[in-house]
Amino acid sequence: MHFPQYLTLMQKIGLYCLCGSAWAGLIFLMLPILIIIPLSFNIEPYFTFTEGMLALDSDAYSLKWYREIFNNEQWILSIKNSFYIGIMSTVIATILGTLAAIGLSNSNMPFQRLIMAALLSPMIVPLIITAAGMYFFYAQLNIAGTYLGVIIAHAALGTPFVIITVNAALAGFDYSLVRASMSLGASPVTTFFNVIVPLIRPGVISGALFAFITSFDEVVVVLFLAGPEQRTIPRQMFSGLREQINPSILAIATLLIIVSALMLLMIEYLRRRGEHIRTGERS
């Protein structure tokens, strides 16, 4: 590690300790997740490392549990449901969250803070309470146990993430561009799609990815609202842990880790791109 020459010995030791604590925190958070990956290749139906795996014996590793996922009708159904419900709820959450964030960015809007707090409440209220409330409310509407009910519930959980990311993208937005567009005769709809949306697109896409991850990994609401036909990957994993434990759960968990990691990398790329766009606007 390279230090500036003006740092004292104690300052250098402090920086070393800070760097070490950061790495220790990262290992503490990531190790329980990363240990799942090699276990998913265990040829034996165990959740532990066998002697062959510890000895790096190639015969102790296998792709059988990954093949079992795609040969099992319940896993196939849960994968299809997760993507279908996740995509549909993401579309709804992105539209509603983007419109809400744009409205809340207007300082003249009455009860701005109160409305923002209400919209972000699904992130604050314990999920078990939200799920129970959704179940009793949706049961009255006869949409509990249907795709529509699960999609609306997941959209409600994902909307706050879209609001936060779009609101952050709007923090440095130059509203003089909107006034210029309107003064040149553009309609509000044209101004929205041709001026506002292109500038906040990184924030919108980031929020959509967060909403999709929220839906893709959610299990509590699905336990309350989903029927047998709406079984998602987390719901199937939960059932597998209770009924039939085998490493296929670890295999699907590994695939979920990969999907989540790719989406987080995309979010980071969009965040940096958004910063680059805002920096270009200021310059």
For residue 244, pLDDT over 70 is answered with no
For the cut 80, the answer to whether the pLDDT of residue 245 exceeds it is no
Of 103-107, 135-139, 157-161, 192-196, the one with minimum mean pLDDT is: 103-107
Question: What's the whole-number mean pLDDT along residues 128-154?
Answer: 90
| CA gap 205, 210 in Å, rounded | 9
Q: Which residues of 233-258 are buried (b: 16+ CB within 10 A; e: fewer)?
A: bbbbbbebeeeeeebbbbbbbbebee
Tally of CA atoms within 13 A in the half-sphere of 274 that contains its CB: 25
Q: How confident is the model at residue 267 (pLDDT cuts 50, 70, 90)?
A: confident
Tell me the pLDDT band of 177, cut-offs 50, 70 and 90.
confident
Question: Domain map of the chain by residue range?
Answer: 62-282
List, for residues 42-60, the tens digit of each pLDDT value.
888 877 888 888 888 888 8
- The mean per-residue pLDDT over the stretch 172-177 comes to 76
The confidence band for 280, taking pLDDT boundaries of 50, 70 and 90, is low
How many residues are present in the chain? 283
Fold assignment, 62-282? MetI-like fold (1.10.3720)
Note the pLDDT of residue 283: 52
